Amino acid sequence: MKKRFLSLLAFAVMATTAIMVACTDHGEPIPEPTQFTVSDFTSGLRAPIGMVIDDQGNFWVTEGGTGHDDGALVMITPQGDKKTVVTHFKSVLQMGNVEGISHLYYDNGTLYLLHGIEGLLYTINPSALLAGSLPLHKDHLPSEDIKSFVVSKNLTFDNNSNAFAMTKGPDGHLYIVDAGANAVIRRNKDTHALDLFTTFPPIAPNRDPVPTGIVFDGTHFLLSSLTGFPFSPGSAYIYRVNTSGVMIPYKGGFTTLTHIALTVNDKPLLLHYADFTMPPGSAGNPPGFKPNTGSVVNEDGAVLASGLNLPTDIKRWGDRTFFVLCLGDGSIKKLDY
């Protein structure tokens, strides 16, 4: 009887220890955000488009510049100090908007940078870059031609191409969103060969979906979409693509989505760029995107932060903090919950 009691006691102790360890390892689940507190992190950026945060907490941001071939890559320390590290990226003015440089992706000490007009993918070693003489002219960076491959596929009526954003898939390959071609291009991790991964159908006759941001949630790729003119309210989708390239519209009812990020629970958060005023304008307003009407929304369309000035990128840092890059006022906002 004594032996049996001691065995049961030992089992109870082990079970209790296992439960305590499990609770210590996992802790309380992190809730999804329902409202963000927005604060200023930094400002003074020149038409910023893309942003990543490296392992040291440094921010790398692509600046469109003024539209006179003065696009740049800048680095911002966690304390907010800014340094221009690469210059002379092509930038042009199109209908009053700066176009050229696109988004970034950071992975395991390597920085990937897309340029939509040039149709190039630049690869950067941040450690080597910062150890050299700065700023560096962009012609000294290794690059790969994405646009020629896309154009060869003749995917749109105007054969447009705008390499815009990217992520890595579970296979280690790089998946590049081409907003002009309404497609995702896969770049082989070993050979760097390109192939067509998936395409997006029109949302209506002569209406492009214009895919923008891309993430992988552990099972599927999720993509945001801007849509084309006239940027009708409720016409944008979240798209879901499996690892075989099969695409379905996942959720609709969104407007002018520019990027996407995942919460700690792998739930999508999306950037609504702005409200668009149609010609001839309502209440005397000129046509175009209205400043300070951008927002962060969840996959159900609930607004978690509003009043953002043309947001173009969002990144999570830790469990409960996000940073949003705003083209309209050249700022980075910190979002906490």
What separation, in Å, do the N-terminal and C-terminal C-alpha atoms of the chain show?
55
Does residue 116 carry a pLDDT above 70?
yes
| Torsion angle, alpha carbons of 201, 204, 210, 213, to 10 | -80
Per-residue pLDDT band at 279 (split at 50, 70, 90): low
Contact 189, 127 (CB under 8 A): no
Does residue 167 carry a pLDDT above 70?
yes
227-271 pLDDT per residue, tens? 999 899 999 999 999 999 999 999 999 999 999 999 999 999 999
Question: Tokens for 99?
Answer: 């176009």
Per-residue pLDDT band at 27 (split at 50, 70, 90): confident
Residue 10 φ/ψ, nearest 5 degrees: -65, -40
Per-residue pLDDT band at 206 (split at 50, 70, 90): confident
- pLDDT score at 4: 40
Among residues of the chain, what percentage have pLDDT more than 70? 90
Question: Tokens for 302?
Answer: 């609930």
Contact 52, 60 (CB under 8 A): yes
Q: What's the whole-model pTM score?
A: 0.90
296-315 pLDDT per residue, tens? 999 999 999 999 999 999 99
Question: Cα(68)–Cα(88) distance, rounded to whole angstroms?
Answer: 9
Per-residue pLDDT band at 205 (split at 50, 70, 90): confident
Residue 316 φ/ψ, nearest 5 degrees: -90, 145
To 5 degrees, how large is the angle CA 236–CA 242–CA 248?
35
Q: Which residue has the tokens 């990144």?
A: 315
Question: Cα(278)–Cα(325) distance, rounded to whole angstroms?
Answer: 25
Which among 278, 240, 275 is positioned nearest to 254, based on CA atoms?
275
Sequence-separated contacts (24+) of 230-235 with Cβ below 8 Å: 230/276, 230/278, 231/255, 231/256, 231/276, 231/289, 233/275, 235/203, 235/204, 235/207
126-149 pLDDT per residue, tens? 999 999 999 999 999 999 999 999
Instruction: Work out the average pLDDT over 182-189.
Output: 98
